[in-house]
Structure 1
Amino acid sequence: MPPAIRHVLFPGRHHLVTSFQVTYLTDLLAGRVRDTAGEPVACAPDARVVWALTSATHSGTRRNPVPAHRREAMIEAVTTRAGLPSLVVPVADVLPSPRFAHTVLATSELVLGHALTPADTVVACSTPDVAAMYAADGFRVVTVEDGAPGDPDRPWAVLERMVAGDEAWRALAHPDAVAFYERYRLDEHVRLVHTDPTVQDDGDLTETRDYATYTAAFDDASDRKWAQVAPHVRPGRVVDLGCAAGGLLERAARDPRLAESDLYGVDVSRHLVAEAEHRRAQGVFANPNVFFAQRNLLLGPVFHERSVDTTTTIALTHEIASYGDGRADLELLARRIFDQTRPGGVWINSDVLGPAEPDRVVDLVLDGDGDVPARDLTALERGDAAAYVAALSPAARLTQFTQDFPALSGADVKVEWVERGTARSVARTTLRTAMEYLYTRDYTDSWLSECHERFCDLTGDDWADLLTGVGFELEPGSGPWRNDWLVENRLRVGAALRDPVTGEAIDWPDTHVLTVARRPLVPVAG
């Protein structure tokens, strides 16, 4: 007869607790369940369920929509009311590994202060591949939902019912779990995360971004960006949408004018918000009232109406247009920001801009030979793809761009090679396409991610129409401008624009837009 069991190890993400699980675990502790070998499991009177809460450091994504602290609190609420002796062990998110069982066991030992051994522990697991890992280490296994009469829904299937609007989820989830979800409006939160059309399953716009490079580039430019927007910021509640790792708010937190202000950073990317929170924990922000949240403003309001004094969006709007529904999503964003802005408050937007004459035909003169076949970069590791693109000449890189950019961004690209040669090539195309390429070509570290983004969807006039159309008034100084440093050090390196008829050089167009849009103190009539 095997010795009495003192621990039931129950690993899982546990985003929901079902009535079936509570009944099953209660029966298990009472000795009414058999293991996979058909042997009854005899539990000691003081036996407890150890809920190994996996992916505890990962939240806000389709894979893990509910943060660990809420999951732990839900388990405590359910098991306390159900009289189910339990302990919760948070386990950090890890990549799939054959040592997953070891990770859970090692974490449990660290948290509980003693090891869970095959002699005193049974593993409750309905995922055969995971259960097999514990069995290989000598643990007895009970299968919970797997093979149970009636094929009961696993928690994730119940969660998907909830997302789909199937009210049967309430009957399947444990009543105290339902009450907990309603108390903290977790059902609304999970639906938003699952139905977000712009974000990948792991919590970002794209799966091909190099975060170290992205964050470093954003931080490097934060002094310049803050100098540009700071004169227009109204103190009070200040919100930086698309805050990345908080570089702009770090500068704002040092501004004496904002010492009494509340500073909020909002970003859709789980990775970037996590880095911002880490920086806050390290004391990077001089103002103690700095807060971060992972949200997507397109899916619903983040702040109450007329509650925000300043909203900033820096290099964000082109991403919203690119990963969403183009101008329609920018108009939705503008309406949401208008609604949250106090009368007299402002939305400050700075981003790359499309040329005023986007359809003008130009000759793009590039160094190198454009007669180089494009490669399928999706088959390469990110580092290998970056190295390959970085080694291409400006002309050869355009050839690669004409394959990757339309495929990933959905843009219409037409390029006619007028001349090809080992030293110089000439491509005839629209000014919009030429600028899209020149804005993108130097971002080789995240080439496929950048080729998903369109920089030239809107012109300066388009921005003015969009903002005034939702009710904003444009402050003096708003409008297009040309970043001459960018022109001299990036755009014209190995490249030139010429008129295809006269052959004369074409002036470089405006590259950026700065708009300071103010919500009127009195609503505009009509």
Structure 2
Amino acid sequence: MTDLPTRFVLFPGRHHLLTRFQADYLRRLAGDEATVVWAVTSANHENTRRNPVAYHRREAAIERFSVLTGLRSLAVPIFDTAYTDAFAEVTLKSIAVATGLELTPADTVVACSTPEVAKLYERLGFAIALVEADPDLPETPERPWDVLLRLAGGDETWRTLTHPATIDVFERYRLVEAIRSVVNDPLVGDEGGLTVTRDYRTYVEAFASAAQRKWDSVRRYVQPGRIVDIGCGAGAVLELADREAALRESDLIGVEVARHLYQECLHKKAQGVFRNANVYFFHRNVLGGAVFKDRSVDTTLTFALTHEIWSYGRQRESLLQFARRIHDHTVPGGVWINSDVCGPDDPGRQVILRLAADDGDNPASPRLDLADLTSAEVRRYVSGLSTRARLDQFAVDFAFGFEYEPLADGAVRLGLGAAMDYLTRKDYTDNWLSETKEQFCGLSFADWTALLTEAGFEIGPASAPVRNDWVVDNRIAPVASLTGLDGRPLDWPTTHVLTVAHRPRND
């Protein structure tokens, strides 16, 4: 314990959970005079493993904590920034802007148990109280994050270590199950996206450019009422729905799991992009729990989403769970419209694939260290490979391993599904390490029909497998050819699927 200089205790941290130990420690440290300044970091993050609790709920617990402990407190949100050695200075400036307080080493002690962060303040001349890391304590207390992991793991002893203020807020706002869901979610990364390697700028640009085509392909099947776009990206399709006069009385609702994209949706709404007053966005993962009440949604839209659930989850098990979730929230007679990539009808069929080898480099072997490179370095390297050499690199990086046999004439023998997974992905060099974690050809149209039927839907006549001829003519056919084992040329198979599935009216 450090002697308090004078007036303030600066307590930086994420503060998702407050402990009984912290209450005792801060009472002794602050005494009856000092104000505790809670610098709540990652205040703009929520619904992620590292930050499962929204700032306003954390602030509510801090205020309740202050009342119950008798401590005078100020809670200040600190927005997340890229890592910087000036983190302490940024925090102090944020506090000054929010409160007018200029905290200095002359009147402030910093309470911090994280050595790396403590050193940043110590370098500025602040005295440090080490909280859980204080060497003078008779025994080492559990840190708040470890207690939160107890909660996430279903260990009810978290309640004996947690301060009543946090327990009260968690129970009143039903946060216990929400925290367990997001912390244990197999799909969501630490920072609230599906993968840390994705370049969301290029993702948003690609989705926006395709939005009109996607909307045109499904508009006729959309039923007015509550219209939900799950995996809405930056809201491009909902912008088009917003312009439809026939939908002006509908609620337009976007659901997005990636924090970057969700924040862009909110920004668009704040800028007045949407004319419909009933446009809403949720930062949620549908697999983590029901977002909408049963029988409450008329139309659900999903574009380029289901293959990600397949890829980052437990393949068919996760996708069936997702389909059942949508069935539950769909009104009888309502519709789920899904557009995504799709595998060929016979993915295991052995074929001969010939690929251009004169359109790039042909190293002796694929690299095994791309994960250690920057995204720009990965892009430059993969873009420089020939189409044939890129297959070898794809086979190394692809999360869904496949076998292929190089032939004497430079061709390869492999399964049709694996061939199409490569050919439909080979040009995605901007997000290579992200795209190679996803499987495009996990389900055929027949597989989709069986899965939707099992989930309780009826398959509408508009549902069909589709071949994207532009991709075939411009990306695949110029550098590749496909034959059967007998040497006869094969037609390029299905690349996409459109399913229009209704919940039965008498359901």
TM-score (norm 1): 0.91
2 CA distance for matches of 1:492 and 1:183? 59
2 CA distance for matches of 1:371 and 1:118? 58
Does 2:432 align with 1:447?
yes
Contact 2:182–2:288 (Cα < 8 Å) also in 1: no
- Shift of residue 417 of structure 1? 2.0
2 CA distance for matches of 1:451 and 1:131? 39
**1:271 matched to which residue of 2?**
260
Contact 1:250–1:286 (Cα < 8 Å) also in 2: no
Structure 1 residues 214 and 419, CA, compared in 2 at 3 Å: closer, same or farther? farther
Contact 2:62–2:165 (Cα < 8 Å) also in 1: no
Does 2:197 align with 1:211?
no
> What is the 5 A alignment of 1:240-389?
240-368=229-357, 372-376=364-368, 377-389=370-382
- Shift of residue 372 of structure 1? 4.0
Contact 1:122–1:140 (Cα < 8 Å) also in 2: yes
Does 2:478 align with 1:462?
no
**2:181 matched to which residue of 1?**
192
Amino acid at match of 1:428: R
- Shift of residue 404 of structure 1? 1.4
Does 2:376 align with 1:392?
no
Structure 1 residues 264 and 3, CA, compared in 2 at 3 Å: closer, same or farther? closer
**1:176 matched to which residue of 2?**
165
Amino acid at match of 1:16: L
- Shift of residue 166 of structure 1? 1.8
Superposed CA deviations along residues 102-161 of structure 1, whole A, max 9, x for unmatched, are 111111111121310111111122223322222221112222222323322221122111
1 CA distance for matches of 2:312 and 2:220? 31
- Pick from 123, 142, 149 the counterpart of residue 138 of structure 2: 149
- Pick from 481, 493, 499 the counterpart of residue 515 of structure 1: 499
Superposed CA deviations along residues 220-246 of structure 1, whole A, max 9, x for unmatched, are 100000111111111111111111111
Superposed CA deviations along residues 248-283 of structure 1, whole A, max 9, x for unmatched, are 111111111221111111122222212222222222
Contact 2:208–2:236 (Cα < 8 Å) also in 1: yes
Amino acid at match of 2:60: A
- Shift of residue 296 of structure 1? 1.9
The range that moved more, 365-374 or 50-59, is 365-374
Does 2:41 align with 1:49?
no
The range that moved more, 272-281 or 60-69, is 272-281
1 CA distance for matches of 2:26 and 2:45? 26
Does 2:104 align with 1:110?
no
**1:40 matched to which residue of 2?**
none
> What is the 5 A alignment of 1:89-168?
89-147=76-134, 148-168=137-157
Superposed CA deviations along residues 3-25 of structure 1, whole A, max 9, x for unmatched, are 96111111111111122222222
Contact 2:66–2:72 (Cα < 8 Å) also in 1: yes
Contact 1:460–1:480 (Cα < 8 Å) also in 2: yes
Superposed CA deviations along residues 22-71 of structure 1, whole A, max 9, x for unmatched, are 2222222327xxxxxxxxxxxxx4x3111111111222111111111211
**1:487 matched to which residue of 2?**
472
Does 2:397 align with 1:404?
yes
Contact 1:468–1:474 (Cα < 8 Å) also in 2: yes
2 CA distance for matches of 1:260 and 1:325? 38
2 CA distance for matches of 1:141 and 1:350? 56
1 CA distance for matches of 2:452 and 2:158? 42
Superposed CA deviations along residues 316-365 of structure 1, whole A, max 9, x for unmatched, are 11111111111121111111111111000000011111111222222212
2 CA distance for matches of 1:279 and 1:170? 41
Does 2:178 align with 1:220?
no
2 CA distance for matches of 1:484 and 1:137? 62
Q: Give the root-mean-square deviation of aligned CA atoms.
A: 1.7
Percent sequence identity is 53
Contact 1:54–1:90 (Cα < 8 Å) also in 2: yes
Contact 1:3–1:119 (Cα < 8 Å) also in 2: no
Contact 1:263–1:289 (Cα < 8 Å) also in 2: yes
> What is the 5 A alignment of 1:61-72?
61-72=48-59
Structure 1 residues 459 and 4, CA, compared in 2 at 3 Å: closer, same or farther? closer
- Shift of residue 97 of structure 1? 2.9
- Shift of residue 98 of structure 1? 2.3
**2:30 matched to which residue of 1?**
29
Count of residues in Structure 1 that have an aligned counterpart in Structure 2: 499
2 CA distance for matches of 1:351 and 1:72? 41
SS of alignment partner, residue 16 of structure 1: coil
Amino acid at match of 2:57: R
Amino acid at match of 1:11: P
Superposed CA deviations along residues 170-190 of structure 1, whole A, max 9, x for unmatched, are 222111221111001111111
Does 2:20 align with 1:16?
no
- Shift of residue 418 of structure 1? 2.1
- Shift of residue 371 of structure 1? 6.7
SS of alignment partner, residue 430 of structure 2: coil
Amino acid at match of 1:444: T
SS of alignment partner, residue 75 of structure 1: helix
Superposed CA deviations along residues 476-518 of structure 1, whole A, max 9, x for unmatched, are 22111222222112221311212331x3321111221111000
SS of alignment partner, residue 166 of structure 1: coil
1 CA distance for matches of 2:253 and 2:216? 19
- Gaps in structure 2 of 5+ consecutive residues: none
2 CA distance for matches of 1:162 and 1:105? 32
Contact 2:341–2:496 (Cα < 8 Å) also in 1: yes
Does 2:50 align with 1:58?
no
Amino acid at match of 2:210: A
Does 2:374 align with 1:415?
no
2 CA distance for matches of 1:125 and 1:469? 53
Contact 1:372–1:399 (Cα < 8 Å) also in 2: no
The range that moved more, 269-278 or 513-522, is 269-278
2 CA distance for matches of 1:171 and 1:235? 50
Amino acid at match of 1:219: A
